[in-house]
DNA sequence: TAGATTGTTAATCGATTAACAATC
DNA sequence: TAGATTGTTAATCGATTAACAATC
């Protein structure tokens, strides 16, 4: 499978395909064409076929795609069957919410342990995940395979924490700290969940929409005045 | 200001500029060139100048950009000074975490109220935000200006909830439900925080990196065997 | 003034869309 | 078989990068 350079845009669309295919599966739809899939996702059929063709031939001429097998193929492409291990750092509000609510297993990850400094948390379990002391982290990393670290620590210590971890061999972070960790010159993977970036983009679109509405109304007014 | 069609890519970079400029401000840096800013963000100077030029002339030849005023200009572009009102639906784990932890004010939003169905929550305050009953929602919307709805309700009711709200005039959602709400044919704004999409993209990159490492090792092995 | 750096136009690069032969 | 729909090549479109005159 794959082995060509796949663009970031394509990769970002794969999880959307997966979710849509899951949905279709639930609805009992067993086959779908690029045309129909495109309509449901707001993409062109061409784009969908191009996207898939980065990874192989999943369709059948005259028929389309089998929902179930395509879903599995995309899951494989995304690495969902690789049994990646994750640990979580910082069992505060957001860390806790993730442990309680986010189904890591559903997406192919195994959440092995959480770490914090607060004595009242250590030794507890959150949704079946043991909370260990921050001090145990180094030992833990030496004794266990950890593929991804979920970063939920306070802003202030995020950068130092990350650098320590990188030194200990961690090279993939899921970053909830709203701090820019991305070092342009390193090959450490950082996937950001920047809440504020998302809200501000929405803020822009809302502003823009309001401005346009206003402009439209003003045009209308001028037109009315003229008559 | 503005009034030309600005591409999505540009808009998505604006919040990053803002965060970086805040950081520079804190560090006491008062001016910066597109070259230096580019270096720190992993972008080309050209791109940065192009981005800014969508909205006006913020720089000065031979000098660069004033960190503080540029920061304010970008904040204005993003609509941070428009006093948008938000409400939050669903005070579960994620909704609660947002109310507790996320500083809506910092990004120009005023979080006015939260809504839930659980009797034990209603009437309480979470971090200063009153929790009202779901039943009060319609009345609330009629009596108050609500610019953005933060959706934290369970998956199962997300679509119905959204459609109801759209009928009541809401046209901007910050969506935490991991359900695809985007209707390609409507002009309702939906900004998604799809946790799983983000994790799966990371999963792909981690997989890809592992594959490449493996391929590299195999090449090395073959080379060693040959000698 | 000379040096630096912008804003903007032109060139390049990459991603999306269209078209169509292959084929189920 | 005929109709449908893929995979892929070519054409178009848009975004990024390069270049440079303008100017602080």
Q: What is the mean pLDDT of residues B16-45?
A: 96
pLDDT of residue B1: 46
A174, closest residue in chain B (CA to CA): B199
Q: Indicate if the pLDDT at residue B4 is higher than 50.
A: yes
pLDDT of residue B185: 66
pLDDT of residue B3: 55
B41, closest residue in chain A (CA to CA): A184
pLDDT of residue B186: 80
Please state which of the ranges A81-85, A132-136, A214-218, B121-125 shows the lowest mean pLDDT. Answer: A214-218
**Residue A183 confidence class, pLDDT cut points 50, 70, 90:** confident
Q: Indicate if the pLDDT at residue A154 is higher than 50.
A: yes
Q: What is the mean pLDDT of residues A154-167?
A: 95
Which residues on chain A are in Cβ contact (under 8 Å) with B12? 197, 201
In whole angstroms, what is the distance from residue A195 CA to residue B102 CA?
8
Nucleic strand C under 7 Å from the C-beta of B49: yes
Over residues B91-112, the pLDDT tens digits come to 998 999 999 999 999 999 999 9
CB contact under 8 A, A205 and B184: no
Over residues B149-195, the pLDDT tens digits come to 999 999 999 999 999 999 999 999 999 998 988 776 688 999 999 99
**Nearest chain B Cα distance for residue A12, angstroms:** 6
Q: What is the mean pLDDT of residues A14-19?
A: 98
Nucleic strand C under 7 Å from the C-beta of B93: no
Output the distance from B32 CA to D20 C1' rounded to whole Å.
21
Q: Indicate if the pLDDT at residue A40 is higher than 80.
A: yes
**Nearest chain B Cα distance for residue A68, angstroms:** 18
Smallest CA–C1' separation from B60, nucleotide: C6
In whole angstroms, what is the distance from residue B11 CA to residue A200 CA?
9
Model-level pTM? 0.94
Please state which of the ranges A218-222, B7-11, B19-23, B79-83 shows the lowest mean pLDDT. Answer: A218-222
pLDDT of residue A1: 46
Q: Are B111 and B88 in contact (CB under 8 A)?
A: yes
- DSSP for chain B? ---SPPPHHHHHHHHHHHHHHHHHHHTT--EE-HHHHHHHHT--HHHHHHHHHTT---EETTTEEEHHHHHHHHHHHTTTTS-EEEEEE--SHHHHHHHHH--TGGGTEEEEEEEES-TTTTT-EETTEEEEEGGGHHHHHHHS---EEEE-S-HHHHHHHHHHHHHTT--EEEE-SSS----TT---EEEE--HHHHHHHHHHHHHHHHHHHHHHHHHHHHHHHH-
């Amino acid at each position: 499978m794959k082995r060509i350079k796949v663009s970031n845009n394509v990769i970002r669309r794969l999880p959307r395909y997966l979710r849509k295919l899951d949905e279709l599966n639930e609805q009992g739809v067993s086959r779908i064409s690029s045309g129909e899939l495109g309509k449901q996702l707001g993409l062109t059929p061409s784009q969908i076929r191009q996207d898939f063709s980065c990874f192989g031939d999943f369709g059948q001429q005259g028929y389309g795609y089998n929902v179930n097998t395509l879903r599995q193929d995309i899951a494989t492409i995304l690495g969902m069957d690789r049994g990646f291990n994750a640990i979580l750092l910082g069992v505060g509000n957001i860390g806790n919410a993730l442990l309680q609510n986010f189904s890591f297993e559903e997406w192919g990850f195994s959440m092995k342990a959480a770490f914090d400094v607060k004595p009242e948390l250590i030794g507890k379990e959150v949704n079946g995940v043991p909370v260990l002391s921050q001090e145990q982290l180094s030992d833990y990393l030496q004794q266990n395979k950890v593929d991804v670290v979920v970063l939920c620590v306070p802003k202030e210590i995020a950068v130092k924490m990350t650098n320590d971890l990188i030194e200990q061999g961690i090279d993939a972070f899921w970053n909830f700290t709203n701090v820019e960790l991305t070092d342009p010159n390193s090959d450490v993977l950082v996937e950001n969940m920047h809440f504020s970036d998302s809200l501000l983009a929405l803020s822009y679109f809302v502003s823009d929409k309001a401005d346009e509405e206003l402009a439209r109304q003003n045009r209308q007014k001028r037109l009315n005045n003229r008559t």
